[in-house]
Amino acid sequence: MIIDIHGHYTTEPQALHTFRDKQLAGLADSARKPGSADLGITDETLVKSVEPQLKFQKERGGDLTIFSPRAGGMAHHVGTEAVSLEWTRICNDLIYRICKLLPDSFVGVGQLPQSPGVSPKNCIPELERIVKELGFVGVNLNPDPSGGYWTDPPLIDKWWYPLYEKLCELDVPAMIHVSSSCNPNFHHTGAHYINGDTTAFMQLIQGNLFKDFPTLRFVIPHGGGAVPYHWGRYRGLAQDMKRPLLKDHLLKNVFFDTCVYHLPGIELLSKVIPVDNILFASEMVGAVKGIDPETGHHYDDTKRYVDQLRLSEKDRLKIFEGNARRVYPRLDALLKKRGR
C-alpha cells in the first residue's frame, strides 16, 4: 500500500476564498464580515475540486493521502485569535467532508487555531474535536505563527507543553509545518518552509524535549530542510552541546518525509537518515507543480525517485506504508478496521 503522508487541499472551491476575503475585510470594517460560516459548498463541488489529486494519485500509483488544509492558507499571523479559530474550523470541516466522501483516497489531518503570542493550550479544544469527533489522525503544528518573524518561544520551551501533553494523550503526531510568510526576506515555499524545517530540528537538538515527552512524535517535512545535507554539522553541534548522539537524542521521536524534488536529494536522504525515520510523501499539487525538463516528469512525483533507490523490499515497504502506520497509530487502526 502506498501512503502519501503529506497532502494539502490546494484546489479549494472559490467560495472558500470568497469567505476568507470577506472575513479579513471585516477586520477593518465589521459591516464587511461574512454573515454566515455556511459556505454553500455542495458535496458534488467538493468531489470535483479534488479531481486533480485523485488523477495524480491514480497515475502515480498511490493509494491513500493524508490530507490537510492548505499550509500557506493557515496564515496564523493574520487577524485575531477569534478569526484564526473560525477559519481553522471551516478549513478542518471541509477536510472532514472530503474524507467522508472519498474514504478510500483521503484521511484527515487538521490545522490548529494558532495566533502569535497566544498560548498553544488554547488550541486544545480544536485538537480534541478533530481527533475525537472528526477522526483525524494527526495535526499540523506551526512553529512560527508570526509568519516569518519567529516571535513565539522555541519548540523546546514549556510554552508548548500543554499542547504536547494533549498530543501524547491522543496519541497523534504533529507535522512541523510553517504557513505563509509576511516577511519579504523569505519566499514562503522556497525559503520560509525550508527555514522552518531546519530551525525546528536545531531547536530540538538544543533541548531535552523527548525526555519529558518520550511518546511525542514529530514529522519534519520537505526532507528535513537542510538537515540531511548538513548532518555532520548537526552531529557536531550536538556533540559540542554535550547532547547524546542524534540517533538517541531525536530519532526515536523525529521523522522526515520524502517531499524532495529530485533523485539526488532523495538518495542523500536515504543514505543519511535511517530508513525507519523516512515516510513517503509528495505534497502533490503543492509547492512545485511543473514538469522537470530534464526528466519529462513532474517534480513532485516523488514515488518515481523512491522506486529508484537501492533498497530491500522490506525497507521499501517501511517507507511506503509501514512507517506511516507506526507513526500515525490512529491511521493504522482505521485501516485495520477497514480490512486494509
Catalytic residues: 283
Beta bridge partners of 176: 141
223: left (phi over 0), alpha (psi -120 to 50) or beta: left
| Strand residues in 174-330 grouped as ranges (E) | 174-176, 218-220, 254-257, 278-279
CB 3 within 8 A of CB 63: yes
CB 172 within 8 A of CB 215: no
DSSP class of 291:
B
- The dihedral sign for the CA sequence 312, 220, 216, 334: negative
* C-alpha cell belonging to residue 102: 472519498
Name the helix (H) or strand (E) containing 168. Answer: helix 161-170
Q: Which of 225, 248, 223, 222 is nearest to 235 (CA)?
A: 248
Dmax (CA) for the chain in angstroms is: 62
